[in-house]
Amino acid sequence: MTKSSNANTVFVQVIERPARKLILKRGINADNYFEYCEEVECDVWDVLSSIKEAIYEPIGMWLPENLRKPGTSVYAQGVEVPENYSGEVPDGFDLIDLPHVK
């Protein structure tokens, strides 16, 4: 191992999250934001931002294999909502469960 003179600091924060749901728009083959916008257009963020019950702001994410549907991309955009969310799910979006994370 060689000594590097260009050290970088990385901060990691572990956050406990309750069980919740995720409203997301899946891509087709996209593995990044730009490919995603070409596939599904960039108005997804506006749709997600209009969901009043959102716990946090919308996010872009790389989905783990267990949250992907066959024939969809690793990259998606979504917003977390409470576990008991019973509101509308916009056309073309999915609603999935996210477990409690310690």
Domain that holds residue 28: 20-98
pLDDT tens digits, one per residue of 40-76:
987 899 999 999 999 999 999 999 999 999 999 999 9
Number of domains, the chain:
1
pLDDT tens digits, one per residue of 18-40:
999 999 999 999 999 999 999 99
Q: Within a domain: residue 9?
A: no
Q: Please tell me the pTM assigned to this model.
A: 0.83
Q: Within a domain: residue 75?
A: yes
Q: Within a domain: residue 48?
A: yes
Q: Within a domain: residue 2?
A: no
Q: Within a domain: residue 4?
A: no
The secondary structure of 11-68 as a DSSP string is ------B-SEEEEEEE-SS-SSHHHHHHHH-TTHHHHHHT-TT-SS--EEEE--GGGP
